[in-house]
Every structure is written in structure tokens, then in C-alpha cells.
Amino acid sequence: MLKRDTTAINDDTFIVDQLDSVFSKIKIIDGSVDKDELHCQLLDYYRAKFGNPDLANFHYEFIDLFCGAGGLSVGLEQEGFRPVVAVDKDRSAILTYRFNRPWLTDANIIHDDIRDLVGQDIFPHVPVVVGGPPCQGFSVANKHKKENDERNDLYKFYVHSVGQARPDIFLMENVEGILRLYSTIKEDFCKVGYITCDPLVFNTKDFGFPQSRKRAFILGIKKDYKKISNELYHLFKTELQRHLEAVTLYTLWDAISDLPQLEAKTMKNATYSESATWGYTFAGFRDAASPYARLINHGLPIEVPLLNHRSKYNNDRDIQIYQLLRPGEKSDAESIQEINPYKNRADIFRDKFDKLLADEPCKAITAHMYYDCNMYIHPYQARGLTPREAARVQGFPDDYLFLGSPNEWYRQIGNAVSPLMARVLASGLKLVLERIYRG
């Protein structure tokens, strides 16, 4: 059984080590900033932020399975939930998760494949278990789905973990395609003592958030509360509907317009080379005072660090395509046909190039950005979205630092649950728990 760590931070070794590792790799090729000075500034910021965390603000503990970089945890934390165990097999994502929660210990953040944890007594009892098993096997965006994709069974390990932790409730997030297995999922949870409520399917844009991202959510309730299970489900559903009725509509431009302009990177094989033209891992501090920035930063000071805002490498042909396309145009645009490498496969690759519209919600941010950002071309600049712009769209706070390689930042952000959506869900989970404990 894992030990809960409820003490304040008195050892910032992990923060220091990770920032040392990050800055040791960076090369400022144009001399535009003093890397050592920025390193000190950022270390001072995180020491001040995490040096004496007020853990009294957390009212309920939870376990985050398949936690990734922590998007779901961010939203729950903002509503008064505290993670006590997080599990993921992606090393860079686990580093990001731990860095942004340094009050947790290595023992509470498990870097392992959840399939290898079966039979180990590692999950404590908590009020809530949350998580989103990897969903690529169910995704409609996956054009190469396999009939018996092994990822389709990963939810079974979520079920096993719920059975061990015995939470009062759980919430499972996934793409809508997982609902093809809902009858089986319902039976599996029933075997470990849980009632699953009718799945809810929501699109983040319906809540006013600047992204079109549809996901399914399955609320589970321990059978001990069977007599009030319908009431609990109604509380949860009604709370989400309340948020739907009080939306402020945000566009892509609302989310990213206040970030500095950049150009596409033109130097090959220069992963850690940074400049004023291409952007930086850390570019000093800036005011984030827009309504959307205040929404995602959720009580942070107006002046925040500018993190992970740097462009991806593109060749001359792709940059020319980015320049020729108008917002809203895709691979079949007349203006790029002479240089479009996919022009003879437009039936498959119509959106291989996609220049985003500024005044609408962004298309769903995905982990494909790890490979290229051709489907996420900035509406006014000849480049793909930066990791920070993608994180803005998802709803991560500006001071949330992503670790690993720059490509891994994209993967972590694309795989995450939107923190904004997670905050809405958390408000519903809180009402359910309050009703359970009221008796």
C-alpha cells in the first residue's frame, strides 16, 4: 500500500534537477537571451510557487490512471481534489506530471505499464478514481484501426484498479467509439461492485471552450449507494448541463492571440537550438491578462512565465504551402496544387494541410502533432501551432511546464484531457461526493 505524503515541500531537488537538465541542452544561437539568467528566474518562480503549498485547499483525494501529463488532474485540483497516486508508462509525461506537483513523491507517481501492476496491492482507498485508457483503437481519426487492437482492452486494467481502490465513485473518459463496448464495460464494472450510469457525450466547444473535442464520460457509483444512484447521476448530469447554459464562447484567436509571433524553424537536426525567431523553452515573464488567459490560469498572478512556445522545423516547400493557404483552406486548395506532395491522393489527404480559422474553435488537438503540425497551421503565421499554443487551446495553465523533448511536449498535450473540461466534470463529482457523505 502506498503511503500518502501530506507534508509541505522541504526538498526541491527534483525541481532543480529537472530545470538543470532542461537548460543544459538548450543552445541560444542568436545570443538574444541570457540562458543562465532565465534558468535562475524560472527556478525562483517555482521555488516561490511550490515552497509552501497550501494542501488544506484540497478536500478529496483521487487516483489518476493513465494520467499522462496531468490534464484531468489539473481540472480536479482546481476544484479541490488532490491526487495521491498517478500511473502512466510514458516517461516524459510522468516527469511533467511530477514536476508540476512536487509535493508528490516518486512512490506516489508510478512510471509503469498498468498491465504489469496486476496482482500488486498498490492502490489505497480514495473517494474517486479517474482516468482515460489510451483510445487510439477506438478513435474515428485513426484510419488504420485494427479489428482486435490490444489497446481496446486496456480499460479492463482500469476496472481492475477500481476494484482494488474501492472508490465511492469513478469517472472514465474516452473517445465516443468506446461506447461500442459499453454493455461489456458495464458488466465488467458490475463484477467489481459498481453501477455504471448512462454515458454522457460532450464536445468541449459546447461549453464555450476554443476546441472541437468530443469525448464520452462514464460515471460509476459503488453499489453501496444503489438506493440513491439515480439521484447521484442526476446531480452530476444537471451540474454539467448548468455549465452548458452559462457559456462564454472562446475562439482559437481568443486562446493564442496574445502569444509572441514566431517563424517556422528552418535549421534541421537542431532540436534544442532556440532563438528570438523560433522561440524558446522559457522566454521570461509576460502579462497574461486576456479573459481566456485568466480563465485557464485560475488565480495565478497576471505575470506568468512563457513556456514551451517555440516552433517546429519545416522545409521550404511546407513553409511556402503555409504561406499560400488562406485560413480555412486544406490540401485541395487551388493555390498549392503545383507544390502539394499529396495532390494525387486528395481523397485520403484532403486535410493533410489545414490552415486553421482564427474566429472559430480549433480542431481537436491530437498527439499527431508529435510528427508534424501540417494539420494545425497558424491562421496568420507560416508555421504550425507551438506546444504552448496547443496547451492554451487545451486549457493548461501558462506556468505548466512540459518536460521531455519538444516533440514529446506535443504528444503529452494531444493525449491529455482538456483541463477546462476536467474542471467542469470535477464540479459535478464534488456534488456527488457531498451528497454521499451527507448520508
- Annotated active-site residue in 135, 197, 362, 373: 135
- With CA atoms as reference, report the closest residue to 74 among 386, 367, 307, 391: 391
Contact predicate 171/215, CB 8 Å? no
Contact predicate 297/282, CB 8 Å? no
The C-alpha cell that represents 59 in the structure block:
478536500
Q: Within the chain, how many helices (H) and strands (E) appear?
A: 14, 14
What distance in Å separates the CA atoms of residue 13 and residue 185, rounded to the nearest whole number?
Answer: 42
What distance in Å separates the CA atoms of residue 172 and residue 90, rounded to the nearest whole number?
Answer: 19
Contact predicate 146/137, CB 8 Å? yes
Contact predicate 414/70, CB 8 Å? no
What distance in Å separates the CA atoms of residue 355 and residue 324, rounded to the nearest whole number?
Answer: 10
Contact predicate 197/220, CB 8 Å? yes
What does each C-alpha distance from 59 to 81, 83, 130, 178, 438 come to in angstroms? 6, 11, 16, 31, 15
Q: What phi and psi, each to the nearest 5 degrees, are found at residue 22?
A: -60, -50
Instruction: Tell me what percent of the chain is helix, strand and coil, each rounded to the nearest 5.
Output: 40, 15, 40
- With CA atoms as reference, report the closest residue to 426 among 301, 304, 255, 298: 298
Pairing of strands 303-310, 200-203: unpaired
| DSSP secondary structure code for residue 343 in this structure | G
The C-alpha cell that represents 385 in the structure block:
501551432
Q: Is 135 a catalytic residue?
A: yes
| Angle at alpha carbon of residue 73, lines to 71 and 77, rounded to 5° | 125
- With CA atoms as reference, report the closest residue to 233 among 195, 267, 270: 195
Kindly give the residue spans of alpha helices, DSSP state H, lying in 219-373.
Answer: 229-244, 252-256, 291-297, 316-324, 346-349
Q: Which residues are catalytic?
A: 135
